[in-house]
Structure 1
């Protein structure tokens, strides 16, 4: 409580400096916000490449190591990812065009299923979910078109990402020290939050993404070997769905198997069902091995974090959304614990304050307090100046002497 009051007093004594600091932080945040998703992308890449940076720094300087890893990130991560997404977008457009032209209509699929002996009313099912499905496909196409038309803005954002990545790799220790100095928190709380957030970052950015990537590649290879069209699009869709707990690769290979049955390829569909089941079952072993257990990374936080992160941060929200939501839970848990400890400490200090145990209006300690102290042995009732009365031992006023009178007078003054 004293530290908090001292901080409040320090801020009130320096209103100008406090206002300038708050205004500067606000303006800085407003400048970062337009490219926040690219800054977060640089943060994610830096988190992944920091171990390699430490190893390279043993042989070359920090700047050379950072530049090398930036080039590696461009050639091995950003460019291949952009190429794969471009192909997936083109295949998605082909699927949408086929649906609009009728070559991939629901009626045709339903008639094929009836020929094979499966009576499924896909028309009613499609009418039920037509609006959300159409909205989702239209949203994918719209975002893709916005990405293409806004290519200059994307290039600027990627430039911001590369500079953020370079700065975080080269000056990571100085930045961590700066944050520790600026954040108004105790060192032990900072260390605890750093440990918890590091585990959460590993679970979301590394563990969850690696699991989704492994499942997407495995299913994509199987689809390619079976001759299924739009393999790249289905692989990307598998990766996105594999990030979601309880969904995973099921969301891709089950509809594809139904499609194969509809086009009179039951053996291929059966093969896909068996292979897809094995890919989905791998989630049971891969996820616990790579992610482990953390209380801030449960299914609800992952699902809400992914969808909410996409809305707030864009595509990078797939990875950073669960981290932000789980980090909020961790921070609130620490805050609640520290607040409860502070309230408990304040209550103990209040209970130990002698002024609380004095008689009202006199400032002299009450008989109950004196009796408790006698029972503790601090002042025994065996002294000659005490008399017995009632159920306890009581010291008379006449026997207290000058020192007791002075103490009573001092207590009264304090009261």
Structure 2
């Protein structure tokens, strides 16, 4: 049983200190806002790499272990990711150019559909929407360029990410303990919230990203064997689309198969379609195997959390958004349970 005084009575009895604490917290939030997504990226990386830190501390002091893990994350995660993203952007620009120059043979696709009994005037449809397709691709590419194009801002942001990562790896447990000590809630409730957030982070960050990475790697290998151009761009696109609900790798292998038909390679198109279906349906195995550890997630939380997280937090919102929604439910459940003394339905 906690020996703390009643939180409500204490806060009401010390209005000045309570107001100062709230003001300080608000100022900290304003300081963090300009680089919030980079700070959150550091939190995500620290959560993922904390088991590595624990293993490294068996051989090194915490500070040196944290330095080694941060250096490994920089050279084996962040720099390769930036390099792959740069290649993907370059290849996507070539795809935009190919679409605008009309290099895809839509007539071959139309003939294949006609043999199966479907009559579409795809040439007219493609020509009417050619500019829209190219503009859409270019907007996505421009967004990625804007993300990595501002080198000074990117350098400052990644520096913040690395420092947050280092601090959390070295002193993460002490920081979490400090938060539990500072928050005016019962210790049993804070332990319950910590366990629930750990499960949410596992599902959103580790499980979801692992599923997307596996499917992207599998489809990327298939696309490379089939001789598709811009394989790096398509693989990165598969990774991103697999993170999004209701889209998945369909958004890549269907256009890829269509392209192969358009360039006169129907056999390769059928092979990619079959292989793409296998990769897509592998989701039904990988996702329960990796995310089945928690039942706190549901389709609504994932959909709203991912798209809302993207809008509020940027790219890192893919992982943080569902955690924020799931965490809010945990907090509200704890609040209602403390207020009513009843478990949630």
Q: TM > 0.5 between the two? A: yes
Q: Which residue in the other structure is 1:303 paired with? A: 303
Change in Cα spacing, 1:123 to 1:293, as seen in structure 2 (3 Å) is farther
Matched, 1:183 2:183: yes
Distance in 2, Cα, partners of 1:236 & 1:172: 31
Matched, 1:116 2:103: no
Q: Which residue in the other structure is 1:40 paired with? A: 40
Instruction: Write the deviation string for residues 298-348 of structure 1: whole angstroms up to 9, x where unpaired.
Output: 2222122222111111111122222112222222222223222189xxxxx
Q: Is the 8 A contact 2:219 2:276 kept in 1?
A: yes
Structure with max Cα Rg: 1
Instruction: Write the deviation string for residues 141-166 of structure 1: whole angstroms up to 9, x where unpaired.
Output: 33233234411001000000000000
Q: Is the 8 A contact 1:87 1:233 kept in 2?
A: yes
Q: Which residue in the other structure is 1:84 paired with? A: 84
Change in Cα spacing, 1:210 to 1:149, as seen in structure 2 (3 Å) is closer
Distance in 2, Cα, partners of 1:179 & 1:248: 37
Q: Is the 8 A contact 1:200 1:296 kept in 2?
A: yes
Q: Which residue in the other structure is 1:407 paired with? A: none
Distance in 1, Cα, partners of 2:320 & 2:6: 37
Q: Which residue in the other structure is 1:139 paired with? A: 139
Q: Which residue in the other structure is 1:410 paired with? A: none
Q: Which residue in the other structure is 1:202 paired with? A: 202
Q: Is the 8 A contact 1:310 1:316 kept in 2?
A: yes
Distance in 2, Cα, partners of 1:189 & 1:130: 57
TM-score (norm 1): 0.76
Q: Is the 8 A contact 1:257 1:269 kept in 2?
A: yes
SS across alignment from 1:171: helix
Change in Cα spacing, 1:250 to 1:50, as seen in structure 2 (3 Å) is same
Change in Cα spacing, 1:149 to 1:113, as seen in structure 2 (3 Å) is closer
Q: Which residue in the other structure is 2:332 paired with? A: 332
Q: Which residue in the other structure is 1:261 paired with? A: 261
Q: Is the 8 A contact 1:296 1:327 kept in 2?
A: no
Q: Is the 8 A contact 1:260 1:268 kept in 2?
A: yes
Change in Cα spacing, 1:141 to 1:251, as seen in structure 2 (3 Å) is closer
Distance in 2, Cα, partners of 1:117 & 1:131: 23
Report deviation, 1:123: 5.9
* Structure 2 counterparts to residues 25-174 of structure 1, below 5 A: 25-104=25-104, 108-109=105-106, 111-118=107-114, 119-122=119-122, 136-174=136-174
Report deviation, 1:172: 1.2
Q: Which residue in the other structure is 1:387 paired with? A: none
Instruction: Write the deviation string for residues 172-230 of structure 1: whole angstroms up to 9, x where unpaired.
Output: 12101100101111111111111111111101100111011000001000100110111
Distance in 2, Cα, partners of 1:232 & 1:278: 20
Distance in 1, Cα, partners of 2:149 & 2:256: 32
Report deviation, 1:138: 3.8
Q: Is the 8 A contact 1:113 1:120 kept in 2?
A: no
Distance in 2, Cα, partners of 1:136 & 1:12: 55
Instruction: Write the deviation string for residues 353-391 of structure 1: whole angstroms up to 9, x where unpaired.
Output: xxxxxxxxxxxxxxxxxxxxxxxxxxxxxxxxxxxxxxx
Distance in 2, Cα, partners of 1:185 & 1:7: 7
Matched, 1:230 2:227: no
SS across alignment from 1:78: helix
Change in Cα spacing, 1:133 to 1:113, as seen in structure 2 (3 Å) is closer
Unaligned runs of 5+ in 2: none
Report deviation, 1:238: 0.7
Unaligned runs of 5+ in 1: 344-415
Distance in 2, Cα, partners of 1:200 & 1:236: 25
Instruction: Write the deviation string for residues 67-92 of structure 1: whole angstroms up to 9, x where unpaired.
Output: 00000000110000000000111111
RMSD between superposed Cα atoms in Å = 2.5
Q: Is the 8 A contact 1:116 1:264 kept in 2?
A: no
Higher relative contact order, chain-length normalized (CA < 8 Å, sep 6+): 2
SS across alignment from 1:285: helix
